[in-house]
Amino acid sequence: MLLCDFHIHTKYSDGSIELRKVVDIFGQAGFDVIAITDHVVNGDSLIGKFAHRFRFTITHKNFNEYMENIKYEAQRAWNKYEMLVIPGVEISKNYLSSEKSAHILILDIKDFIPACESYENIFLEAKKQDALIIACHPHHMRGEIRNTLYLWNNRDIYGKYIDAWEIANRDDVFNVVSLKKYPYIANSDFHKPRHLYSWKTLLNCEKDIISIKRCIKHNKGVAITLFRG
């Protein structure tokens, strides 16, 4: 099975490590597939404005450079480690209220999607780009003051757009996702080297982007594992 992590941050947003070094960490650890998913933060709230001010976000200005760099690193990762690197972002709608906030991974993104758009527009645009939509850390997290509960609380409205939900994020496991029998994956939400040791996804499919997206969507041949090196 393919060892995968679809939720990874770099210095392009609030990660502590440069993209190139991140690729080497995962390549040397024997991963088959990773997705780089730096934050695209909403600018229409106080917390969002703070992120923009301190450049903890991808913007439409540096999106092309971000994508070019990922493309370059993806080629290097394939040659050196036979590891597939998928370009992505984490659309981050941050508000003071946990009930209003949500984070969404867009995997295999092609064009910039602003985080201040409505949920509906974000999902439709992602579908148009044939990208995968993942609801991140959708329930209460241990030791987090600010949770991201909007999508879970509004799953009856938005569930139809979501290709899979994070059933585990780093050390947290969200049993509500299994109770609802939603398609699931597990990710590290990597920001620092120690986050390598965390929940991951195993996929029973070919190592190419089409097979991987299909496997996650159909959620057959998907497993999770607690990676400890």
Binding-site ranges for Zn ion (CB under 5 A): 90, 103, 136, 189
CB of 115 to Zn ion, least distance (A): 12
Q: CB burial class (10 A; 0-12, 13-18, 19+) of residue 13?
A: buried
CB of 79 to Zn ion, least distance (A): 27
Residue with smaller CB distance to Zn ion, 102 or 205: 102
Residue with smaller CB distance to Zn ion, 5 or 90: 90
Q: Which residue's Cβ has the minimum distance to Zn ion?
A: 103
Residue 45, C-beta contacts closer than 8 angstroms, at least 6 positions apart? 94, 95, 96
87 and 109 Cβ atoms separated by less than 8 Å = yes
Residue with smaller CB distance to Zn ion, 69 or 187: 187
213 and 201 Cβ atoms separated by less than 8 Å = no
What backbone phi and psi angles, to 5 degrees, belong to 22? -60, -45
Nearest to 32 by CA among 203, 216, 214, 221: 203
Residue with smaller CB distance to Zn ion, 76 or 114: 114
CB of 35 to Zn ion, least distance (A): 11
CA distances from 155 to 32, 150, 158, 180 (A): 31, 8, 5, 10
CB of 23 to Zn ion, least distance (A): 17
Determine how β-strand 2-8 pairs with β-strand 199-203: antiparallel
State the Cα–Cα distance between residues 91 and 18, nearest whole angstrom: 20
CB of 7 to Zn ion, least distance (A): 5
Residue with smaller CB distance to Zn ion, 98 or 211: 98
Residue with smaller CB distance to Zn ion, 74 or 89: 89
**215: helix, coil or strand?**
helix
Residue with smaller CB distance to Zn ion, 89 or 136: 136
CB of 2 to Zn ion, least distance (A): 21
CB of 189 to Zn ion, least distance (A): 4
State the Cα–Cα distance between residues 66 and 112, nearest whole angstrom: 10
